[in-house]
């Protein structure tokens, strides 16, 4: 166990006495998958080793402003509202703004069984016919779950939680990251795509809860049956077709230098139809095209910024070196979709 994990273990043991009383202990502490290193899985067990709670804790980085994805408590009312409306999400078990336990606020949700569906990994590890069949099953459930998320009446369930974000503001929101990565070799492509997006903003979008990073990597499945939608860090209120565009962008071979492995995903027209039928609204691939472009631009800017952080030694994460060759594809595909 690393020193950092040993410190977290001691913190959790002190917290568990406060939360559960004397007797229970913390076992199986591990860093959960992902790049932030700020999610931890662990079990609370009694004196006989029986599991009382199996939890995943999320904490923000220390010393940063608590806003957006660093405000972990922001997700609590959202997840509670989604569960009330039957959306498959993890139950929030503990949360607190009291910083005496971990020096930051925290949330803890139930740890659920299953695995995420990583399209490239499935494509590489299975017979193609079987992989295509599985992907069709998984994506249909994902589209239907997304429709369930979007159907939650946010004004009723989340009054005062957040103001809706307008589409031009969603484009401009990424300017700050783009400026910080301005020296990147892709800055000109990024600015061109940004200007194309702002010149072609669609009117009258359906507004409501959106996930922000909706993809099968962020959905838990057990034996290909959907268990829960995970990772709500960049959720919000805004144009909901952004989620559909993001799901398609993440699985669009033309948006990635190594997109061959995405070929097992169902035809995009089918995914959009599954979503539209479940949502009870009319949606076409043409409707989604601008949101696919916005999604490519968003992830392109995020990638520029994180590649800069990695290559300058400010935040080591070699995964961004693998993603870097896709950045011109993301911006180029976005511009193509707008055209």
Please state, in angstroms and rounded to a whole number, the distance separating the CA atoms of residues 2 and 4: 5
- Per residue in 206-232, is it b (16+ CB within 10 Å) or e — as a string? ebbbbbbbbbbbbbbbeeeebbbbbbb
Would you give the end-to-end CA distance of the chain in angstroms?
53
Q: What's the confidence (pLDDT) of residue 34?
A: 67
- Round the average pLDDT of the chain to a whole number and report it: 94
User: Read out DSSP for 67-110?
Assistant: -GGG-GGGHHHHHHHHHHTT---PPEEEEE---TTTSS-EEEEE
Residues ≥6 apart with Cβ < 8 Å to 167: 201, 202, 205, 238, 239, 294
pLDDT at 36: 52
Q: pLDDT of 284-323, one tens digit each?
A: 999 999 999 999 999 999 999 999 999 999 888 899 999 9
Above pLDDT 70, what percent of the chain?
A: 98
CB atoms within 10 A of CB 1: 10
CA distance 153 to 308: 40
Q: Where are the domains of the chain?
A: 3-110, 115-338
Asked whether 178 and 317 are in contact (CB, 8 A), the reply is no
H or E stretch at 147: helix 128-151
pLDDT in the model for residue 66:
73
Examine the pLDDT at 65 and tell me if it is beyond 70.
Answer: yes
Of 175, 189, 170, 188, whose CA–CA distance to 332 is shortest?
A: 189
- Please tell me the distance from the alpha carbon of residue 114 to that of residue 293, in angstroms, as a whole number: 32
Report whether CATH 3.20.20.150 matches the domain 3-110. Answer: no
Please tell me the total number of residues recorded for the chain in this structure.
339
Mean pLDDT of 46-71: 87
pLDDT of res. 315? 86
Q: Give the model confidence (pLDDT) of 109-165 as tens digits.
A: 999 999 999 999 999 999 999 999 999 999 999 999 999 999 999 999 999 999 999
10: left (phi over 0), alpha (psi -120 to 50) or beta: alpha
Tell the CATH topology of 115-338: Aminoglycoside 3'-phosphotransferase; Chain: A, domain 2 (3.90.1200)
Given this model, what pLDDT does residue 138 score?
A: 98
Model confidence pLDDT, tens digit, residues 267-283 = 999 999 999 999 999 99
């Amino acid at each position: 166990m690393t020193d950092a994990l040993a410190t977290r273990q001691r913190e959790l043991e002190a917290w568990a006495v406060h939360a559960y009383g004397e007797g229970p202990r913390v076992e199986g502490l591990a860093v959960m998958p992902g790049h932030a290193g700020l999610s931890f899985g662990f079990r609370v067990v009694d004196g006989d080793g029986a599991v009382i709670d199996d939890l995943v804790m999320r904490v923000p980085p220390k010393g940063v402003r608590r806003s957006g994805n660093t405000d972990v408590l922001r997700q609590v009312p959202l997840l509670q509202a989604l569960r009330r409306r039957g959306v498959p999400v993890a139950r929030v078990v503990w949360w607190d703004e009291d910083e005496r336990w971990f020096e930051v606020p925290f949330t803890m949700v139930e740890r659920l069984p299953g695995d995420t569906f990583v399209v490239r990994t499935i494509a590489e590890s299975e017979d193609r016919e079987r992989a295509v069949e599985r992907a069709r099953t998984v994506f249909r459930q994902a589209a239907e779950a997304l429709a369930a998320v979007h159907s939650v009446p946010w004004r009723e369930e989340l009054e005062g939680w957040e103001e809706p974000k307008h589409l031009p503001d969603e484009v401009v929101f990424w300017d700050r990251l783009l400026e910080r990565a301005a020296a990147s070799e892709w800055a000109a492509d990024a600015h061109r795509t940004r200007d194309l997006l702002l010149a072609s903003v669609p009117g009258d979008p359906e507004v409501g809860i959106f996930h922000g990073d909706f993809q099968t990597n962020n959905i838990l499945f057990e034996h290909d049956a959907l268990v829960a939608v995970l990772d709500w860090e960049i959720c919000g209120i805004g144009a909901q077709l952004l989620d559909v565009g993001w799901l398609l962008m993440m699985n669009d071979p033309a948006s990635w230098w190594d997109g061959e492995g995405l070929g097992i995903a169902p035809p995009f027209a089918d995914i959009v139809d599954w979503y539209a039928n479940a949502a009870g609204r009319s949606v076409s691939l043409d409707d989604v095209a601008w949101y696919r472009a916005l999604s490519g631009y968003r992830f392109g800017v995020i990638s520029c910024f994180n590649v800069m952080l990695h290559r300058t030694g400010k935040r080591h994460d070699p995964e961004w070196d693998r993603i870097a060759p896709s950045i011109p594809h993301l911006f180029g595909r976005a511009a193509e979709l707008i055209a």
